[in-house]
């Protein structure tokens, strides 16, 4: 339940804007017919290019210009800017993200448990959330698709999908661009990109990115400071336009990221806080202390993608072949700045005992074949086949001491996952109703094969629970999409949609015994009804899109503590324990207020609730004992963007404010009610100002000033329950970024 100070709702603001619409629609002499209109937004949410207003789906799209002005260079920058999208960094892996859309997500990032929100780069599915927070070198557009994407983006995208597109090489223009950025906390960012036409039909685009920044929490102990980061990455992208109908695009990308994970800060003391020497403060501390040397974690990634496209009359054939791999080396400290030898919870124990940090290696191969086109003027379609093969190896050696040393946990996993799918979707516009009605139908059949070999050793093993196991299981599912859309006028469209989604089952790598591990968990399913409006009013100066939805969520995979080992925070269990209903409302508004001045407003309301909980180990557990994590009741974003042309260049400015209601970092209602796992509501203000495209004799220059969290708001990004059962503290958090500001210089040459 919301506390009194957090009972703010954006509904009155949304109602006021809607109430003003009749006045906005009145034509006046101040807005002549030659007044500029909103630019059309093109998306690829349905595997082909189409107008945002024609796509019968709840979607937010960010162009390259919008990404630049709002400081969006990675997925985690979307937090608070997209209705119904929420995310938290995994507490000990700040480059790994837990993504939620409309309350549907995964709280853990196990290699045997798929994410609920699919992430795609140039239509290539990214199987793991490790590294998702890293900056991408060459973004052209980001689309966030809300609701289950069971047919076209069916790789377990049960909550929604994030579809990212990179800049494509061009054969007609030679260009070079150098970006340099400087900011507080010793921020240095450099991005070099070049588009090189090699022949009339062959082009190369090359990009190199470097970014280094100091963390905002100093480490007074040995080793590095918390949240220090250094990223390096590059991309080579070739396009061969072999003929008017045949094109081949091959892209190779590589990145190397070193970062120091955060440590939790206690903000509410417990009975044993003083004994365990844990610093406690309700304010964000600028420093904490580690007893052992703090080290960097590291993520290295590589990817290859080959896209072949062939046009034949009214049909296009496309093949997308991709291979990706990454290696993640972990180091984490969870001691909250304690200097006491009675509390030890970090990865140094594993390194000292086994001689290496925890490591996760993953590689994936995917192949997608698509065919799409028009059979008649009133019938178009997309169909295809999909294959995905993932292999992963994870090893770790984790120990802890909470008054008394816990046994060293040594784990090694070998994962082998395969997926096969066939899909088809069509749009039919019959002659009835003057061609205003379109029926969309889609189907996808998926088979998942999963093998999860595990060697688990306790040292010492007094209870004899060490084991080796190699379970396997297969899952299959058929998903559907049915949409009826109706064009009320040329610029007002409505739609009613029903769609299903599925996420495969698997095995819990944090199970504390063989029986629990072999049991695994089954798939979960969702079915969503959605009523939507897409409209452009006021002579296309006002764009108003809205969607109301209701989801029936079944067999939910829930993570919670293992009751058989309550003293060991490393152990969890996963069961298909829940059924739930989720309802909500989403609103996106863009208004061209005057020449060069645009206002944006987005809003989301969510009401998720469990309707049934079945715990095989405890019959007294009911739906009242669980809540949805990362599902704030209200969130909104307000923006103003202004552009003024100069004789030599242009002035662009933007102001953006996003507000997120309180949300829970837990699935248990008692932890939410006590406030122990509540992420408080917060609002962040950012600004951007640039003088762009200043002509020089040798190219164009752009100078930008930017600032984020201008009010230096202190806010949490996570509030997990760790060690509360022994009274170490009542609440711990990881903090979000404080005030950040900087200047960017861009040189651009084209010929």
* pLDDT tens by residue, 337-350: 999 988 888 776 66
The most confident of the ranges 10-24, 399-413, 666-680 is: 666-680
* Confidence grade of residue 5 (pLDDT, cut at 50, 70, 90): very low
Asked if residue 137 has pLDDT above 90, the reply is: no
Reading the block at residue 425, the tokens are 């979707």
| Sign of the four-CA dihedral 33, 36, 38, 40 | positive
Q: Is 271 helix (H, G, I), strand (E, B) or coil?
A: coil
Q: Report pLDDT for 114.
A: 86
Are 127 and 470 spatial neighbours (Cβ–Cβ below 8 Å)?
A: no
Length of the chain: 751
The pairing of strands 160-166 and 117-121 is parallel
Cis peptide leading into residue 375 (ω within 30°) = no
Give the up-direction half-sphere exposure of residue 470: CA atoms within 13 A in the CB hemisphere: 2
The pairing of strands 315-330 and 297-312 is antiparallel
Specify the range with the lowest mean pLDDT, choosing from 76-90, 166-180, 488-502, 655-669. Answer: 76-90
Q: 434-447, pLDDT tens digit by residue? A: 889 999 999 999 99
Q: 345-376, pLDDT tens digit by residue? A: 877 666 665 556 678 899 999 999 999 999 99
Reading the block at residue 639, the tokens are 């923006």
Asked if residue 197 has pLDDT above 90, the reply is: yes
Q: Report pLDDT for 565.
A: 56
Mean pLDDT (whole number) for 684-691: 96
Q: 536-564, pLDDT tens digit by residue? A: 999 999 999 999 999 999 999 887 666 55
Q: Report pLDDT for 14.
A: 43
Asked if residue 585 has pLDDT above 90, the reply is: yes
Specify the range with the lowest mean pLDDT, choosing from 6-15, 318-327, 478-487. Answer: 6-15
* Confidence grade of residue 512 (pLDDT, cut at 50, 70, 90): confident
Mean pLDDT over all residues of the chain? 87
Q: Report pLDDT for 669.
A: 84
The most confident of the ranges 70-74, 125-129, 614-618, 681-685 is: 681-685
Asked if residue 649 has pLDDT above 50, the reply is: yes
Q: What are phi and psi of 76, to 5 degrees?
A: -65, -20
Asked if residue 194 has pLDDT above 90, the reply is: yes
Higher pLDDT, 112 or 60: 60
Q: Report pLDDT for 87.
A: 84
Q: Report pLDDT for 530.
A: 97
Structural domain tally of the chain? 1
Asked if residue 167 has pLDDT above 50, the reply is: yes
* Confidence grade of residue 724 (pLDDT, cut at 50, 70, 90): confident
Mean pLDDT (whole number) for 509-520: 84
Q: Report pLDDT for 690.
A: 95
* Confidence grade of residue 508 (pLDDT, cut at 50, 70, 90): confident
Asked if residue 452 has pLDDT above 90, the reply is: yes
Q: Report pLDDT for 349.
A: 64
Question: What percent of the chain lies above the pLDDT cut of 70?
Answer: 92
DSSP string, 391-450: EEEEEEEEEEEESEEPPEEEEEEEEEEEEEEEEEEEEE--SGGGGTEEEEEEEEEEEEEE
Q: Which residues contact 353 (CB under 8 A, 6 or more apart)?
A: 397, 399, 408, 459
Asked if residue 463 has pLDDT above 90, the reply is: no
Residue with tokens 């939620």: 100
Give the residue among 382, 377, 367, 494 at the shortest CA–CA distance from 48. Answer: 382
- HEC readout, 517-553: HHHCECCEEEEEEEEEEEEEECCCCEEEEEEEEEEEE
Asked if residue 10 has pLDDT above 50, the reply is: no
How far, in whole angstroms, is CA 711 from its chain's centroid? 25
Q: Report pLDDT for 560.
A: 63
Asked if residue 147 has pLDDT above 80, the reply is: yes
Q: Report pLDDT for 72.
A: 85
Give the residue among 185, 337, 343 at the shortest CA–CA distance from 263. Answer: 337
From CA 399, how far away is CA 394, in angstroms rounded? 16
Q: What are phi and psi of 93, to 5 degrees?
A: -135, 85
Are 106 and 87 spatial neighbours (Cβ–Cβ below 8 Å)?
A: no
Q: Report pLDDT for 94.
A: 67
Q: Which residues contact 66 (CB under 8 A, 6 or more apart)?
A: 72
* Confidence grade of residue 489 (pLDDT, cut at 50, 70, 90): very high
Are 220 and 287 spatial neighbours (Cβ–Cβ below 8 Å)?
A: yes
Query: Whole domain around residue 447: which residue ranges?
Result: 4-750
Q: 607-628, pLDDT tens digit by residue? A: 999 999 887 777 778 888 889 9
Q: 239-264, pLDDT tens digit by residue? A: 999 999 999 999 999 999 999 988 89
Q: 427-436, pLDDT tens digit by residue? A: 999 998 888 9
Give the up-direction half-sphere exposure of residue 214: CA atoms within 13 A in the CB hemisphere: 13
* Confidence grade of residue 570 (pLDDT, cut at 50, 70, 90): low
Q: Report pLDDT for 255.
A: 92
Asked if residue 4 has pLDDT above 70, the reply is: no
For residue 671, the surrounding DSSP H or E stretch is helix 669-673
DSSP string, 164-192: EEEPPP-SS--EEEEEEEEETTTEEEEEE
Residue 719: CATH number of its domain: 2.40.170.20
Higher pLDDT, 49 or 210: 210
């Amino acid at each position: 339940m919301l506390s009194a100070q957090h009972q703010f709702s954006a509904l009155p603001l949304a109602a006021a804007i809607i109430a003003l619409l009749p006045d906005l629609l009145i034509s006046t002499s101040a807005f002549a017919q030659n007044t500029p209109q909103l630019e059309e937004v093109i998306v690829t949410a349905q595997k082909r290019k189409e107008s945002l207003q024609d796509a019968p789906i709840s979607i937010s799209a960010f162009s390259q210009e919008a990404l630049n002005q709002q400081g969006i260079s990675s997925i985690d920058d979307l937090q608070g800017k997209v209705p119904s999208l929420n995310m938290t960094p995994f507490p000990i892996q700040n480059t790994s993200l837990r993504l939620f859309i409309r309350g549907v997500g995964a709280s853990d990032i196990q290699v045997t448990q798929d994410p609920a929100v699919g992430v795609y780069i140039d239509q290539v599915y990214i199987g793991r959330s490790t590294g998702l927070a890293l900056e991408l070198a060459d973004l052209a557009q980001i689309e966030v698709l809300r609701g289950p994407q069971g047919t076209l983006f069916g790789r377990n995208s049960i909550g929604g999908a994030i579809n990212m597109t990179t800049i494509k090489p061009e054969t007609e223009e030679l260009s070079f661009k150098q970006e340099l950025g400087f900011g507080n906390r010793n921020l240095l960012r450099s991005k070099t990109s070049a588009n090189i036409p090699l022949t009339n039909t062959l082009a190369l685009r090359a990009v190199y990115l470097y970014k280094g920044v100091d963390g905002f929490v100093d480490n007074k102990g040995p080793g590095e400071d918390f949240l220090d980061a250094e990223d390096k990455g590059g991309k080579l992208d070739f396009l061969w336009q072999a003929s008017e109908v045949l094109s081949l695009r091959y892209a190779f990308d590589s990145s190397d990221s070193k970062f120091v994970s955060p440590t939790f800060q206690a903000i509410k003391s417990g009975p044993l806080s003083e004994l365990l020497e844990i610093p406690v403060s309700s304010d964000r501390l600028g420093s904490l202390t580690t007893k052992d040397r703090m080290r960097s974690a590291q993520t290295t990634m590589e990817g290859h993608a080959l896209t072949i496209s062939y046009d034949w009359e009214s049909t296009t054939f496309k093949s997308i072949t991709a291979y990706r791999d990454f290696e993640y080396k972990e180091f984490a400290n969870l001691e909250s700045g304690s200097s006491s030898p009675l509390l030890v919870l970090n990865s140094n124990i594993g390194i000292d005992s086994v001689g290496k940090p925890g490591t996760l290696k993953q590689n994936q191969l995917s192949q997608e074949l698509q065919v799409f086109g028009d059979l008649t003027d009133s019938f178009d379609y997309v169909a295809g086949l999909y294959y995905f093969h993932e292999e992963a190896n994870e090893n770790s050696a984790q120990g802890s001491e909470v008054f008394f040393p816990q046994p060293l946990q040594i784990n090694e996993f070998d994962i082998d996952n395969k997926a096969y799918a066939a899909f088809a979707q069509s749009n039919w516009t019959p002659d009835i109703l003057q061609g205003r009605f379109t029926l969309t139908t889609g189907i996808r059949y998926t088979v998942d094969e999963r093998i999860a070999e595990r060697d688990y050793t306790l040292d010492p093993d007094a209870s004899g629970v060490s084991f080796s196991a190699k379970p396997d299981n297969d899952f299959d599912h058929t998903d559907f999409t049915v949409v009826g859309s109706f064009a009320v006028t040329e610029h007002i469209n409505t739609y009613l949609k029903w769609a299903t989604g599925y996420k495969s089952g698997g095995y819990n790598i944090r199970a504390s015994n063989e029986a629990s591990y072999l049991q695994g968990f089954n798939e979960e399913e969702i079915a969503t009804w959605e009523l939507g409006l897409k409209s452009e009013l006021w002579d296309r100066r006002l764009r108003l899109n809205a969607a109301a939805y209701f989801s029936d969520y079944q067999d939910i995979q829930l993570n919670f503590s293992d009751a058989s080992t309550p003293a060991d925070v490393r152990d969890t269990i996963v069961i298909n324990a829940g059924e739930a209903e989720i309802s909500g409302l989403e609103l996106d508004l863009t208004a061209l207020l005057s020449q060069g001045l645009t206002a944006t407003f987005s809003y989301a309301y969510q009401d998720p609730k469990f309707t049934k909980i079945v715990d095989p180990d405890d019959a007294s557990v009911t739906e009242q004992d669980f809540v949805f994590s990362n599902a704030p009741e209200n969130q909104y974003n307000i923006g103003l963007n202004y552009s003024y042309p100069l004789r030599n260049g242009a002035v662009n400015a933007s102001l953006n404010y996003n507000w997120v209601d309180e949300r829970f970092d837990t699935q248990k209602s008692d932890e939410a009610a006590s406030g122990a796992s509540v992420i408080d509501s917060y609002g962040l203000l950012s600004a951007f100002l640039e003088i762009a495209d200043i002509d020089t004799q040798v190219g164009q220059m752009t100078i930008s000033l930017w600032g984020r969290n201008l009010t230096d708001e202190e806010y949490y990004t996570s509030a997990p329950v760790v060690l509360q059962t022994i009274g170490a503290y009542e609440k711990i958090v990881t903090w979000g970024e404080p005030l950040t500001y900087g200047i960017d210089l861009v040189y651009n040459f084209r010929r």
